[in-house]
Amino acid sequence: MNGLRETALRLSAVVDRDWKKFRRNPVVIAMSVLMPIIYLMILGNSFQGKLRGLPLAVVNQDSGPYSRSVLDNLRAIAAGPRTLVIRAATDEAAAVAGVRNGIYKAALVIPPDFSKKVVLKAGPEVGLFLDNTDGISAQALRGAVNGAVGAIASDYVPIRERAYEIHLRDNNLYRQVDYFQSLVPGVVIMSIFLGAMTTGVFNIVMDRFVGVEEAYLLTPLTKTDIVAGLIISGLSITTAVAVLVLAAGVAITGIPLPGSVEQYALMLLLIVLATLSLLSLMFAILGRARHPRIVGVMSGFLNVILFFPSGAMYPVASLPGWLRGLARINPEAYAVSALKAVLFKGAHLATVWGDIAFLAAFTAVMMTAAIVLFKRTL
């Protein structure tokens, strides 16, 4: 009996000590409660099944009643299932350029003689130009436009008279990209995130945890020296890993290699900027952490809020408004978008300049914040 009592006392002492350690980490306590809720909100809204809010440019060159019927049907889809958002355009070339530059997901062109050919039953056609590098969005828009166009055919011909159906001529602007290949840019960014969590600020947190950080205080190193040095070391390691992951992904999925040196240089620049932005962000958030457990908890949280709204697996245009707002300040979203443009569309500097500028500005802001917030004292 006394032996059981002593065992119970020893076990309770261990449990009590562990509870006290847990209570001394309010960040861990808060994240243990908040993370599952945040996961639910972000994951639940990142994969919603049917796509919504896909931008479709419409160039209506016909003033007849049947082109208006097509537009009315498209507006019904925009107001009902909300698969698409209609953007009126006046110039076919500008609309197609907008698709190439990522402004629209597709462009629909209704020719000047559309209504006339419908009346004459002379094989009326409309043209649909698709950004087929995003296969999920392209398929959803193709189906929506097909439905809008096909709905007016039954108004003027019997359904069996296929010779008089309206034809939807869809044009893929790029080579075919399957779903497996489309994941490669996201995998590269994921490798950069993992590198940012295991280098850079993680090293200073471990130094604090084991007491090695005190050695920094005996040197003339400034806060800028420490922060910049650790970020540069993390940059060299993480960039090398990301390049290897990109090369492996291209080889495994069979993505054709870019055709110019500029595109290789752009991909390397994007990897470097994405790495710097994430390393500096982690330093700004975790620069004062003193326990590796906090890094572990925050890594899962940050991975969810950065990766899933990035467009790596689900179109950003179909996310709810508050998640689209998060994507606008998410460096991973800009890195994924630019890598997809270079890798699948053969984009040049002019096309991805906005993404590069954002990543550079984000890095500068986060680097400054990391240096200001870093504490060079015990």
DSSP 243-259: HHHHHHHHHHHTPPPPS
Does residue 188 surpass a pLDDT of 60? Answer: yes
Asked if residue 27 is part of any domain, the answer here is no
Does residue 209 surpass a pLDDT of 80? Answer: no
- Tell me: do 194 and 126 sit in the same domain: no
- Tell me: do 149 and 196 sit in the same domain: no
- Tell me: do 159 and 183 sit in the same domain: no
Residue after which a domain boundary falls, among 150, 172, 194: 172
Does residue 167 surpass a pLDDT of 70? Answer: yes
Say what the pLDDT of residue 28 is: 56
The structure tokens listed for 13 are: 């002492």
Q: Which range (48-62, 158-172, 363-377) has the least confidence?
A: 158-172
Asked if residue 46 is part of any domain, the answer here is no
Q: Which residues, including other chains, have CB under 8 Å from residue 164's CB and lie 6 or more apart? A: 121, 123, 153, 157
Say what the pLDDT of residue 301 is: 80
Say what the pLDDT of residue 159 is: 45
Higher-confidence residue of 376 and 123: namely 123
Cα torsion for 240, 244, 250, 251, to the nearest 10°? Answer: 150
Asked if residue 38 is part of any domain, the answer here is no
Report the alpha-carbon distance of residue 140 to residue 55 in Å, rounded.
Answer: 12
Question: Average pLDDT in the 268-285 region?
Answer: 93
Q: Could you list the residue range(s) of the whole structural domain that residue 142 is in?
A: 54-172
Asked if residue 16 is part of any domain, the answer here is no
Residue after which a domain boundary falls, among 172, 189, 205: 172
- Tell me: do 165 and 183 sit in the same domain: no
Does residue 285 surpass a pLDDT of 80? Answer: yes
CATH at residue 132 = 3.40.1710.10
Report the alpha-carbon distance of residue 112 to residue 48 in Å, rounded.
Answer: 38
Residue after which a domain boundary falls, among 172, 202, 224: 172
The structure tokens listed for 180 are: 């497996």
Question: Average pLDDT in the 2-12 region?
Answer: 69
Cα torsion for 352, 356, 357, 358, to the nearest 10°? Answer: 100
**Element containing residue 304 per DSSP (H, E):** helix 292-307
Say what the pLDDT of residue 58 is: 93
Q: Which range (90-99, 157-166, 332-341, 342-351) has the least confidence?
A: 157-166
Higher-confidence residue of 15 and 343: namely 343
- Tell me: do 185 and 267 sit in the same domain: yes
Question: For residue 278, which of 338, 226, 231, 219 has the smallest C-alpha distance?
Answer: 231
Phi, psi of 368 (to 5 degrees): -60, -45
Q: Which range (126-130, 131-135, 360-364) has the least confidence?
A: 131-135
Asked if residue 3 is part of any domain, the answer here is no
- Tell me: do 213 and 335 sit in the same domain: yes
Does residue 134 surpass a pLDDT of 90? Answer: no
User: How many folded domains does the chain comprise?
Assistant: 2
User: In the chain, count of helices (H) and strands (E)?
Assistant: 15, 5
Say what the pLDDT of residue 30 is: 61
CB neighbour class for 17 (10 Å; exposed up to 12, middle 13-18, buried from 19): exposed
Asked if residue 231 is part of any domain, the answer here is yes
Question: Average pLDDT in the 343-365 region?
Answer: 93
Report the alpha-carbon distance of residue 243 to residue 104 in Å, rounded.
Answer: 30
- Tell me: do 259 and 326 sit in the same domain: yes
Residue with tokens 């009592």: 5
Summarised one tens digit per residue, pLDDT across range 312-342 is 887 887 777 888 888 899 999 999 999 999 9
- Tell me: do 225 and 286 sit in the same domain: yes
Percentage of the chain surpassing pLDDT 70?
81
Asked if residue 37 is part of any domain, the answer here is no
Say what the pLDDT of residue 25 is: 60
Say what the pLDDT of residue 161 is: 47
- Tell me: do 140 and 238 sit in the same domain: no
Residue 290: which pLDDT band, with cuts at 50, 70 and 90? Answer: confident
- Tell me: do 92 and 120 sit in the same domain: yes
Question: For residue 288, which of 366, 198, 373, 197 has the smallest C-alpha distance?
Answer: 373
Provide the angle, in degrees to the nearest 10, between the axes of the packed helices 184-198 and 292-307. 160
Cβ(80)–Cβ(50) under 8 Å?
no
- Tell me: do 279 and 338 sit in the same domain: yes
Higher-confidence residue of 39 and 373: namely 373
- Tell me: do 195 and 284 sit in the same domain: yes
Exposure class string for 196-216: b at 16+ Cβ within 10 A, else e: bbebbbbebbeebeeeebeee
Residue with tokens 């049947």: 66
Say what the pLDDT of residue 202 is: 82
Residue 273: which pLDDT band, with cuts at 50, 70 and 90? Answer: very high
The structure tokens listed for 95 are: 């609309």
Say what the pLDDT of residue 329 is: 93
Asked if residue 306 is part of any domain, the answer here is yes
